[in-house]
Amino acid sequence: MTKPALTLYLAAPRGFCAGVDRAIKIVEMALQKWGAPVYVRHEIVHNKFVVDGLRDLGAIFVEELSECPDDRPVIFSAHGVPKSVPNAAEARNMIYVDATCPLVSKVHIEAQRHADAGLQMIMIGHKGHPETIGTMGQLPDGEVLLVETPDDVADVDVRDPNRLAYVTQTTLSVDDTADIVAALKARFPAIIGPHKEDICYATTNRQEAVKAMAPKCDAMLVVGAPNSSNSRRLVEVGARAGCPYAQLVQRAAEIDWRSLDGITSIGITAGASAPEVLINEVIDAFKTRYDVTTEIVETAQENVEFKVPRVLRIPA
């Protein structure tokens, strides 16, 4: 029986970014240096496959520092942590390694710099996301006000409309964030923004590739985890850019084949914390059912690399 023809558009860039790559490497190097177990506060990156793989090597994932013993190293996730967390680790004389993505750390530094200049901060982000909690936790309670939508801007209660600055979560939708920034500037004309956009290069690049790919596709799959902010944004961007069916899947086993019945083209991309092995698994699943022709949709090339902390580069 002949397989139906399918054009498979593969987004580039896709998958791992430099911050995720560095965070995973930090856990692997910590296990090599100190042996198992090494504790990790929160999922190192939002991907079950990656977390399970590190757990098999001897990493223990916890949600709070209080769950860690004093005598084993602890690693803080790529999303960043409030200042209170390293302070508590130091008070307990713990060995800790901060795997916060350098681009998230840049936002933390920015927020502190504005606060030192006497400005109150507004953060554009998702309530409850670990990155938002970490960034807001750089400053005392009440110094950072959270907005999630343009409508929230009308209700935000500031100390002084002329003494404000804003920062953003690094994994947001570029277009949605632009709408919120426009609302902030309309209400608070004196508000100060970042020197360079806070949304990271990887998030922006993956969204641009999806925008280029979406109009060509009958359907689109984003390989990523349900708790991955940047992966969920890719689904939204794909739908908004004209793809009739955009869905998030963690593994090939989650593909809803009935919804894809009759398609002649599919777009595939992956969030910044999804490994290439899972992307290939999804591609292989299509190759077993279809006569696949693959086309790469490339909108940018990435060659960013971040060094791991010095403590891991010196022998134990």
Q: First-to-last CA distance in the chain?
A: 60
| DSSP state at residue 192 | B
d(CA 62, CA 74): 10
Neighbour tally for 261: CB within 10 Å: 8
Handedness of CA 215, 219, 222, 227 (dihedral sign): positive
d(CA 55, CA 115): 38
Which is catalytic among the residues 67, 110, 131, 197? 131
Type of residue found at 197: E
The strand ranges marked E within the chain are 5-12, 38-41, 59-62, 74-76, 96-98, 120-124, 144-147, 164-168, 219-223, 246-249, 265-270, 291-298
Neighbour tally for 158: CB within 10 Å: 15
The strand ranges marked E within 196-281 are 219-223, 246-249, 265-270
Q: How many CA atoms lie within 13 A of 31 on its CB side?
A: 17
* Whether 131 is catalytic: yes
3-state SS, residue 68: coil
Look up residue 264 and give its two tokens: 């002649």
Q: Is the CB of residue 158 less than 8 Å from the CB of residue 188? A: yes
**151 membership: H or E segment, kind and range:** helix 150-155
Give, to the nearest 10 degrees, the angle between helix 48-57 and helix 18-34: 10
3-state SS, residue 124: strand
* Residues forming the active site: 131
